[in-house]
Structure 1
Amino acid sequence: MGLTYFYSVFGILSVICFFLETTKTPEDKISTSSVFNSFKNNYIFVYCLMMAGDWLQGPYVYALYQYYNYDRGDIGRLFIAGFGSSMVFGTVVGSLADKHGRKAASITYCITYILSCFTKHSSKYGWLLLGRVLGGISTSLLFSAFESWLVSEHIKRGFEPNWLSVSFSKAIFLGNGLVAIFSGLLANTLVVDAGLGPVAPFDAAVCVLAIGMTIIAFTWTENYGDPSEGKNLIRQFATAAKLIAADEKIALLGAIQSLFESSMYTFIFLWTPALGSETKFGLEIPHGFVFATFMLASMIGSSLASRLLARPFLRVERYMQFVFLVASASLLLPTYAGYFDEHSNNVAAEIAADGISPGGRIQMAGFLIFEVCVGIFWPSMMKMRSDYVPEESRSTIMNFFRIPLNMFVCIVLYNVSVFPISSMFATCAALLVAAALLTRRLLVLSTTDKARSRIEQWRAEAKHQRVIAAELAI
């Protein structure tokens, strides 16, 4: 099978990423302290191990279910179990982190994900279903407990607030980028080159998660949101709901996150069959290598985000509205992929030479642009959450945000056999346009609030000056 196209794309993206990282000016960086750097490096190392445990599984989840001879409808139901579990059980477990500790929740993530990986050794649908339920709980913890621990610990240790963006951007660049690339390539090596089968990446994930859990247990201190003894889970949910209802900015942030991540998780499910539809002549897409290429595009996005976040006068909300629009346009490209195959003179020869059809190249272009937007989204959204989400209910509110996105993805996956893939991509594009509009609204509100607070501050200072003048006159 020819892989010329995939190698070429990977090489071009590598050059772009290297250029962005090596040409940063002082304006693109934030000066920090050695104490902070030590703290940051510990967190990033742990975060990278946690993400490696997740990324090792990513390229072969769908492929493993296919290996066990399940069709797209059966696989869709397994994914529904994962997202449904994240919506129901994950929300509860993740919210307990505020009361019982973020460190404890992080260790729980490792345990539940290790158990999920063990279930992949069985081809029985029931065991695979249990694995998806455990995986859904783990996902909620991964995207709430670790970030909540970092923000709380950062504040507790008295570091500068704007240094948080350094931790966010570096964690995404390495954990969601470089580590993901190596994880994808390692998974591909274990399955294809070593011939160990599609379960091997899940066994590798167990080892990585066990190492990370040990480091957390011995190097992290515990921190909490609101550990009040009389505050049970229902009261936690009620408090979080009141905070969201009382502040339109928090509600908007939750809606924006849900809209983008709904599109992202739908994309994660669809990219394998979407590219697979371009292999009409018995050829297979190299899942691990394509996954690594996606992550390289995400690294480019996080590198761009670090430059944007380093500029104190550039608001995150201002540039993110354009990022969402670009992401929307990128997911519309796959809807036109078939047109290019229909008008190509020799599709079979092009697939044999490059490993992908003309329509597949259009799809890949759209997917890569979308992944760049994903790379910008993560550190930027983390920064906005640190600005808007109250510390005492951080994990609870973050898991509240995940409820609508999990619900939407479950609906999409339940109907995956009914609608064509192009229609689902078009739906995701529409959601991203809505995210852009809500981001515009958030920008207007936050700008207005800041202007109002400045006016009130000026009035207070003027009043204080008048009081001083009056006392001096007496």
Structure 2
Amino acid sequence: MEIYAAYFIALTCFNLALFTRQHLLVRPKTPSHTSPEEEAEDEESISLADLPHSPDKQAVWDFKRIYFGVYILATAADWLQGPYIYTLYHDAKALPEPTVAALFTTGFIAAAVSASFTENLAVPPTTHSLSPSTEEKDHQQQSSSSAQATYRDILRDRRLLALVFTTTAFEGSMYLFVFFWSPALKAARASSASARGISLENGGENVPGLPFGLIFASFMSAMMLGSMATSAMNLTSNLKISSRLTLHTVALAAIALIIPVLAKASETGVFWAFAWFETCVGMYFPAMSKLKSEVVEERVRGKVYGMMRVPLNLFVVLALGSTKEGDAYRDTMFRTAGSLLLIAFVVIARYLD
């Protein structure tokens, strides 16, 4: 049996244990008794944040059905093709690594462009009594002044600048990891085979191939493990705890990306370093979401989040756009990502912790 099957089973068992502890062994709080008038008033004023605790079970179920139905389909479509992008282009189509990186960058840019348009779809329509020309003119003036104010807010607020840098460093490293994990593990398997005395033919074509689907499933299990552990230990209950969690997560992620450079001859070491990084990804997003919600004002949240992605997109495009064939550039990218995460650790400790 492929050893990666055992890794996947182990990670899945940890997830099942956490799920059992969180949802089956811990009893939910008994809802307080309220009068019919109070219940009616509560149902009318339910916000999205309070929906999970709403007494209206049908509303909760309807929201879950609609949201998770769409989310699962979209995520499944992305994850099903995720393990095979690199190996399809590089191995099956025999394309050089810079070309594969260019194709990956094209998909990344397309996602970034579409995200900028879909942001406005979440804004509910409103009615106006102004004439169309006056309304359009006022809207343009308000949008321009709001954008200028948002830029000024980001440049003046050191906490926002810290969030921008941390987002760029961590999520940029995550996107680079998505591209480089396949060739890194292939190189580690070839190095391990060579260390065992197996002669490599035609660049290691005689070495058994990797089960990319099983490896990717293990990474997703590791990410889910990080997310569930964060939820089970209630590590995002307030700003201080979330900032401390982000601080530790960034440091652990930096170590996880440097290990494949130092221990590239160990296939097992490289795999578990990557699984470690994915666990950090699962812990990062709940903590960062809490930090953003506390630091960024709700009225400008959409614009600020969009602006925060500009340096992230530039970093990923430049890093992938300069990709070169071979292990040296990949090691350089892992070192760069790890170094940026260590700098982010210092920035968080200085301005957010």
Equivalent residue number for residue 16 of structure 2: 18
Q: Deviations over 1:70-93 (max 9, x none)?
A: 210111122233344555x35642
Q: Deviations over 1:11-37 (max 9, x none)?
A: 111111111121237599998224373
One-letter identity of the residue aligned with 2:320: L
**1:231 matches 2:229:** no
After TM superposition, the structure 1 stretch with the greater mean CA deviation from structure 2, 365-374 or 302-311, is: 302-311
- Among candidates 362, 373, 394, match of residue 280 of structure 2: 373
Supply the distance in 1 between the matched residues of 2:146 and 2:74 (Cα, whole angstroms). Answer: 27
One-letter identity of the residue aligned with 1:379: P
Supply the distance in 2 between the matched residues of 1:26 and 1:249 (Cα, whole angstroms). Answer: 36
Q: Normalised by the size of structure 2, how large is the TM-score?
A: 0.75
Give SS of 1:251's match. helix
1:75-224 paired onto structure 2 within 5 Å: 75-85=100-110, 89-90=113-114, 92-94=116-118, 97-98=119-120, 101-102=121-122, 222=124
One-letter identity of the residue aligned with 1:21: F
Percent of pairs identical after alignment?
28
Give SS of 1:56's match. helix
- Among candidates 218, 223, 226, match of residue 293 of structure 1: 218
Supply the distance in 2 between the matched residues of 1:28 and 1:434 (Cα, whole angstroms). Answer: 41
Q: Deviations over 1:231-263 (max 9, x none)?
A: 346555434313322432222212211110011
Supply the distance in 1 between the matched residues of 2:284 and 2:62 (Cα, whole angstroms). Answer: 24
Supply the distance in 2 between the matched residues of 1:91 and 1:11 (Cα, whole angstroms). Answer: 35
- Among candidates 148, 155, 159, match of residue 249 of structure 1: 159
User: Paired residues, what number?
Assistant: 297
Supply the distance in 1 between the matched residues of 2:105 and 2:26 (Cα, whole angstroms). Answer: 46
**1:332 matches 2:258:** yes
One-letter identity of the residue aligned with 1:45: G
Supply the distance in 1 between the matched residues of 2:75 and 2:302 (Cα, whole angstroms). Answer: 19
Equivalent residue number for residue 198 of structure 1: none
Give SS of 1:93's match. helix
Q: Normalised by the size of structure 1, how large is the TM-score?
A: 0.57
Q: Give structure 2 stretches of 5+ with no counterpart.
A: 30-49, 127-134, 191-203
Q: CA RMSD in A?
A: 2.8
Supply the distance in 2 between the matched residues of 1:370 and 1:410 (Cα, whole angstroms). Answer: 21
Q: Give structure 1 stretches of 5+ with no counterpart.
A: 104-221, 342-358, 445-474
Q: Deviations over 1:180-202 (max 9, x none)?
A: xxxxxxxxxxxxxxxxxxxxxxx
Supply the distance in 1 between the matched residues of 2:308 and 2:255 (Cα, whole angstroms). Answer: 24
Instruction: Find runs of 4+ consecutive structure 1 residues off by over 6 angstroms.
Output: 27-31
Equivalent residue number for residue 305 of structure 2: 398
Cα distance change, pair 383–64 in 1 and its aligned pair in 2 (3 A): same
Equivalent residue number for residue 460 of structure 1: none
Supply the distance in 1 between the matched residues of 2:344 and 2:250 (Cα, whole angstroms). Answer: 7
After TM superposition, the structure 1 stretch with the greater mean CA deviation from structure 2, 287-296 or 414-423, is: 414-423
Equivalent residue number for residue 129 of structure 1: none
Cα distance change, pair 369–428 in 1 and its aligned pair in 2 (3 A): same
Give SS of 1:57's match. helix
**1:426 matches 2:335:** yes
Supply the distance in 2 between the matched residues of 1:388 and 1:401 (Cα, whole angstroms). Answer: 13
Whether contact under 8 Å (2:8, 2:218) holds in the other structure is yes
- Among candidates 411, 414, 432, match of residue 321 of structure 2: 414
